[in-house]
């Protein structure tokens, strides 16, 4: 069973793909931080968050369809915060008070801008990294080996878990979960009892396989290392510059 989420990994065809995997991970993380640091209440801050996000999406060559999906997901996740505005306005004067309105909107706007920018940067980074790149990149960064190994397996096993979930969902549909009414409710409420034991059993068996194959005690760098060049240094310095700029705008070191 193919899972669209897993096909996202490494589907980008942008120039960032030519960088070493560790550079792509690092640059994605720094740009994520830059997006979060940019002040959402000033035009330069908004412009910087937008520019870093769009620039990284382009550099990663994120497919348009994926970008569109994530924008819609971001809108669905972060726009509802604006529903809090009437609650926050309660008790204020009925007459329009633009300064007051701006103050009330500032909080949901902050969440919206930073959430959307962070989500898009993270998704773009995923499209610039295949699962193998992720392994090589993580192992080249100063990430504890156990953490790296667990992260790598989480990403790898996600495809199988999604497929497993798909099979459970298909079985539920066949057995009446999509038929509506009480039968559907009964089958749906049994989902945790069906799905969880399967996943736990699977985790047990994967752990046994890891033990037999010597996964835990092997330095996974034997599968291949990546080298870094001048372009990698240049990119890291450039994105660090953007992070410093975002910090300068936020804490008013400039302007």
Q: Measure the CA–CA gap between 82 and 105, rounded to whole angstroms.
A: 7
Q: Of residues 212, 230, 237, 254, which one binds other proteins by CB under 8 A?
A: 212
Q: Measure the CA–CA gap between 33 and 250, rounded to whole angstroms.
A: 12
Write down the least CB distance from residue 1 to other proteins, Å.
8
Q: Of residues 213, 252, 254, 255, which one binds other proteins by CB under 8 A?
A: 213
Interaction of residue 211 with other proteins, rule CB under 8 A: yes
Range 130-169, binding other proteins (CB under 8 A): 130-132, 135, 153, 155-156, 159-160, 163
**Residue closer to other proteins (CB basis): 82 or 215:** 215
How many residues of this chain bind other proteins (CB under 8 A)?
30
Q: Of residues 83, 86, 99, 217, which one binds other proteins by CB under 8 A?
A: 217
**Residue closer to other proteins (CB basis): 185 or 223:** 223
Write down the least CB distance from residue 220 to other proteins, Å.
9
Interaction of residue 208 with other proteins, rule CB under 8 A: yes
Q: Of residues 146, 222, 230, 237, which one binds other proteins by CB under 8 A?
A: 222
Interaction of residue 198 with other proteins, rule CB under 8 A: no
35, 163, 215, 217 from 154: Cα distances, Å: 26, 14, 14, 18
Range 28-87, binding other proteins (CB under 8 A): none
Write down the least CB distance from residue 173 to other proteins, Å.
21
**Residue ranges that bind other proteins, judged by CB under 8 A:** 2-3, 6, 9, 130-132, 135, 153, 155-156, 159-160, 163, 202, 205-206, 208-215, 217-218, 222-224
């Amino acid at each position: 069973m193919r899972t669209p989420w897993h096909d996202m990994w490494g589907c980008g065809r942008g120039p960032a793909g030519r960088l070493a995997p560790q550079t792509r991970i690092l640059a994605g993380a720094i740009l994520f931080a830059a997006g979060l640091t940019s002040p959402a209440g000033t035009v330069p801050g908004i412009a910087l968050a937008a520019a870093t996000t769009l620039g990284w999406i382009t550099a990663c060559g994120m497919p348009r369809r994926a970008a569109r999906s994530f924008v819609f997901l971001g809108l669905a996740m972060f726009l509802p915060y604006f529903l809090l505005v009437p609650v926050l306005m309660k008790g204020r004067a009925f007459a329009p008070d633009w300064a007051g309105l701006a103050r009330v909107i500032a909080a949901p706007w902050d969440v919206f801008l930073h959430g959307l920018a962070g989500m898009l940067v993270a998704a773009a980074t995923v499209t610039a990294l295949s699962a193998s790149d992720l392994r090589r990149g993580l192992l080249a960064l100063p990430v504890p080996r156990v953490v790296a190994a667990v992260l790598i397996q989480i990403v790898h096993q996600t495809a199988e878990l999604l497929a497993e979930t798909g099979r459970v969902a298909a079985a539920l549909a066949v057995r009446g979960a999509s038929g509506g009414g009480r039968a559907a409710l009964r089958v749906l409420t049994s989902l945790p009892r069906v799905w969880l034991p399967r996943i736990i059993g699977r985790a047990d068996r994967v752990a046994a396989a890891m033990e037999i194959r010597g996964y835990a005690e092997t330095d996974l760098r034997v599968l291949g290392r990546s080298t870094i060049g001048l372009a990698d240094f240049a990119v890291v310095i450039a994105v660090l510059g953007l992070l410093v700029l975002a910090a300068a705008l936020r804490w008013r070191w400039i302007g």
